[in-house]
Structure 1
Amino acid sequence: MRFVESVEPYFLSEDPFVQRYAIEMLEGSYLVDGDTFLTGLKAHDRGQVSEYSSPILPYLMYMPLNEEGLTEVVNRLNSLSKKDADVLFYIQLIANADTDLLISYRDEVKPFLDEEQLKKIAKLPYLKDEELFMELDGVMHYLDTNEYDQVYFDHGKRIVHELVKKGEMKSWEVQIEEDELGGFNLVYTVYMAGEIRKESVIPQLVNLFKNEGAEDLLLEEVANALVKIGSDQVVREVEKVALYGNTYFYTLDVLGRIKSAEAEQALLRLFDQTDDLTAKTLIADYLCQQLSADSIPKIEALIEEGYDENMLCLEESLYVNCVMNGIDHPKLPQWKSLIEEVEKHSLDEQPLLVTQPVQTGDKIGRNDPCPCGSGKKYKKCCL
């Protein structure tokens, strides 16, 4: 939590680049709580601090709601017009809320959620163990035999969470055997491992990164599970395969989201080991997301030599790293000026359109560069 406490105040920074980066730094870390969400709402309510400010609400989607947060979101929805741009984000926040919270505030959230879906959620705590497993089997069968459906997938996660909460998912029952599991059975088993923080399956989870034919959804859940476990053993095992094939988008993401001294040191070693410019660029950004002061000279040198500018603006990462570490680097004004130019160019080109449609069968990973040309990850852009 100390990392969160050092970053959260910057949600209210007057510098739009520091504000945006601070919120992104905590994404997927599983360290934040409902109070952090409320701080994010304060940042949203304050409005833009400059023309380069980014919308805040989309970045709050990963933050859990507590009772105060849910009540606040419901009150806002009751006072907004249906055409207000914030409505969809607030409804999604409610849809992501914890099962017990939704049940406690069922009457309040009912106007904003699908009635049938809310009924399915409300009955979960009252189902017997066998019934929960049957429900999960039904979800997996549907997902394995139909097109991917996010609502079904999320409901399956709720069922798993309910089993874990009831103590029905014993550690010894969760086995990651890729040859014996397939489809969404494997995906949900990986999710279970993360929910119960099962350290004994860390090697098996990490080994899934070596499967170059694995679906992005599976690799994303593997990464999430490892971050939830978040131990030094996770860091050591992930470092061994971090630069393997094209899965480094996921392995490096794990090391970037685990906020620990061990993860920072692993990223520093990997930075020196790789000659792949894209991987080096990503590692540099994740080091900045760790607030690594030791990485600053290395990243500055990389900027001078040239980095993969299609992935991100590394000057922004380094600028924020210095600011949040209290380092008065002589190049801060230069970097900020460059970031503003990049932002201005991006704003001038809005809206970004995909001029070349992605052909059927073309596979775009969630962490691949978005085909619209924005330079952002696909999952943070057109996905």
Structure 2
Amino acid sequence: MTFLEKLKPHLISDDILIQEVVLHALHDYPNVPEEWTNELLKEAFRNKDKQSSIFIYVENQTFNEESVKILSENIPLMDPSERHLAVNLVQRIEPELALKYKNQLQAYIPKSTWALYELLLHGTEEEVYSEYGQILNDLERAGSDQHHLYITAKKLAACLVKKGWVTETEIDLILEEEIKGRWFSFNGILNIYMIGLLKLEKYIPLLVRLLERDEDSLLEELSATLISFQSDQVIKEVAPYLRKENSIIYAASIVENMKTDFAVQVLREAYTSARELDQQDILFEALCHQFSEKALPEINKHMELDYSSGLVDIEQTAYSYFSILGIKHRELALWRQVALERELDFRQKGNDLPSAPVRNEIRVGRNDPCPCGSGKKYKKCCGK
């Protein structure tokens, strides 16, 4: 069975622990069927306990006309104070589709964004490049409040690629200059995004070498681009970085989202060679999210360790892995109990702190997108 075939029966799970892990495993995977996204949206509006979790985890997926219908029909029924995550999804709908359903969506998209969408569909090359340059300037001056501007810049970059207004020669020149600098500019980061859209595999070795940089925005886009290739070449190039402390988190995320036997093999080898528990935790989670029985030896070995991880929800991850694959284990009920107690404890603490910038409906993993809306991973934002 394929990765998706294994997850399909559990896409909408009554078990909140399994539901979380399924969503996490799908979050950065680029080949999630559109009908799955729609099923998850329907479930979010049916089940309020799952709502914020689903809205956060599906933000990277493709929204089609049915998605628009589900969102536009259900958002008006929500409490206005709880709409922000659903509205965030509306703003990720492709411009052409959003304009087609402008009457249904205009209450949730600012006027300036509608003007941007018209430019993306009907603007000239000079007009789009001019706007792109202005947004890049705004981004460099924006300080910490960059997320909305960055999403706008990505829409403009995608338009430049779609209309054939970006060439490999231009990308070569920009990257050559960016690599010389201490930090990547937003223009450099967005060129990495465009490489992914263009599927320019010649850049894979160069991109992988950037994994040792300490730049969160660059690493987020770099990971997404490398994942988008879905190739064994990426796995081969990334493999050495699974053994380096300063690159293992992003390297593991990249290989985790390549759902192949080769990816499982590379993760198993990295786990075997890892000497630090935190590195083993990261690789354990990546192996579990492959949902491959070939990883059983390493997963069983990890569950024999008697300690509490500060990086990964070990019991929940293992419980979901074994449950989804239908593999029996004598500790399965215990893992579920521990994970549920941790979940209840977290919810209680969340209810005690209603003004905290984290959701109280469900636990946020350190590699999840931060629910405050910054666009950063939780570990780099409110979870510091």
Settle same-fold status: TM greater than 0.5. Answer: yes
Q: Distance in 2 between matches of 1:224 and 1:352?
A: 36
Alpha-carbon shift at residue 115 of structure 1 (Å): 0.9
Q: What residue number does 1:77 align with?
A: 75
Q: TM-score, normalised by structure 1?
A: 0.86
Closer, same or farther: CA 43–191 of 1 in aligned 2, 3 Å: same
Alpha-carbon shift at residue 224 of structure 1 (Å): 0.7
Q: What residue number does 1:154 align with?
A: 151
Within 5 Å, give how 1:1-383 maps onto structure 2: 2-47=2-47, 55-83=53-81, 85=82, 87-147=83-143, 148-175=145-172, 176-177=175-176, 178-179=178-179, 182-211=184-213, 214-306=214-306, 309-351=309-351, 367=367, 377-378=378-379, 382=383
User: Is the CA contact 2:119–2:128 (under 8 Å) kept in the aligned structure 1?
Assistant: no
Higher fraction of helix: 2
Letter in 2 for 1:123: L
User: Is the CA contact 1:281–1:308 (under 8 Å) kept in the aligned structure 2?
Assistant: no
Q: Aligned-pair RMSD on alpha carbons?
A: 3.0
Q: Distance in 2 between matches of 1:15 and 1:208?
A: 39
Higher relative contact order (CA 8 A, sep 6+): 2
Alpha-carbon shift at residue 53 of structure 1 (Å): 10
Closer, same or farther: CA 322–216 of 1 in aligned 2, 3 Å: same
Q: What residue number does 2:357 align with?
A: none
Structure 1 gap ranges (5+): 355-365, 371-375
- Most deviating of 52-61 and 71-80: 52-61
User: Is the CA contact 1:11–1:20 (under 8 Å) kept in the aligned structure 2?
Assistant: no
Q: What residue number does 1:359 align with?
A: none
Q: What residue number does 1:362 align with?
A: none
Letter in 1 for 2:73: N
Alpha-carbon shift at residue 15 of structure 1 (Å): 1.9
Q: Deviations over 1:295-334 (max 9, x none)?
A: 2232222232245611122121111111111212232122
Alpha-carbon shift at residue 59 of structure 1 (Å): 2.3
Alpha-carbon shift at residue 261 of structure 1 (Å): 1.7
Q: What residue number does 1:361 align with?
A: none
Letter in 1 for 2:236: R
User: Is the CA contact 2:26–2:32 (under 8 Å) kept in the aligned structure 1?
Assistant: yes
User: Is the CA contact 2:196–2:228 (under 8 Å) kept in the aligned structure 1?
Assistant: yes
- Most deviating of 297-306 and 310-319: 297-306
Closer, same or farther: CA 45–140 of 1 in aligned 2, 3 Å: closer
Percent identity among equivalent residues? 25
Closer, same or farther: CA 88–191 of 1 in aligned 2, 3 Å: same
User: Is the CA contact 2:160–2:166 (under 8 Å) kept in the aligned structure 1?
Assistant: yes
User: Is the CA contact 1:227–1:257 (under 8 Å) kept in the aligned structure 2?
Assistant: yes
Letter in 2 for 1:99: P
Q: Distance in 2 between matches of 1:197 and 1:369?
A: 25
Closer, same or farther: CA 273–377 of 1 in aligned 2, 3 Å: farther
Instruction: Name the SS for the 2:312 alignment partner.
Output: coil
